Amino acid sequence: MSDTSFDLVVIGAGPGGYVAAIRAAQLGLKVACVERENLGGICLNWGCIPTKALLRSADVFHSMHRANEFGLSVKDISFDLDAIVKRSRGVAAQMNGGIKALFKKNKVTSIMGEAKLAGKGKVEVKSEKGTEVLSAKNIIVATGARARELPGLEADGDLVWTYRHALKPVRMPKKLLVIGSGAIGIEFASFYNTLGADTTVVEVMDRVLPVEDKDISAFAKKQFEKQGMKILQKAMVKKLDRTPGKGVVAHIEMGGKTETMEFDTVISAVGIVGNVEGLGLEEAGVKIDRTHVVTDEFCRTGVDGLFAIGDIAGAPWLAHKASHEGVMVAELIAGKHPHPIKPNSIAGCTYCHPQVASVGLTEDKAKEAGYEVKIGKFPFIGNGKAVAMGEAEGLIKTVFDAKTGELLGAHMVGAEVTEMIQGYVIARQLETTEEDLMETVFPHPTMSEMMHEAVLAAYGRALHI
Q: Among 279, 278, 324, which Cα is nearest to 299's?
A: 324
Q: Amino acid identity, residue 335? A: G
Q: How far apart are CA 193 and CA 82, in angstroms?
A: 17
**Whether 452 is catalytic:** no
Burial of 48 (0-12, 13-18, 19+ CB in 10 A): buried
The catalytically annotated residue of 324, 444, 452, 464 is 444
Cβ within 8 Å of residue 343, ≥6 positions away = 315, 316, 321
Cβ within 8 Å of residue 44, ≥6 positions away = 14, 15, 38, 92, 95, 96, 99
Tell me if 201 sits within 8 A of 178, measured CB to CB: yes
Q: How far apart are CA 199 and CA 442, in angstroms?
A: 39
Q: How far apart are CA 137 and CA 148, in angstroms?
A: 33
| Helix/strand/coil for 335 | coil
Cβ within 8 Å of residue 134, ≥6 positions away = 4, 5, 6, 9, 32, 34, 111, 122, 123, 124, 125
- What secondary structure does DSSP assign to 154-175, as a single string? ---SSSEE-HHHHHS-SS--SE
Count of Cβ atoms closer than 10 Å to residue 209 Cβ? 25
Task: Tell me the β-bridge partners of 239.
Answer: 251
Phi-psi region of 168 (alpha: psi -120 to 50; beta: other; left: phi over 0): beta
Q: Among 165, 164, 200, which Cα is nearest to 180's?
A: 200
Burial of 244 (0-12, 13-18, 19+ CB in 10 A): exposed
Indicate which residues carry an active-site annotation: 444
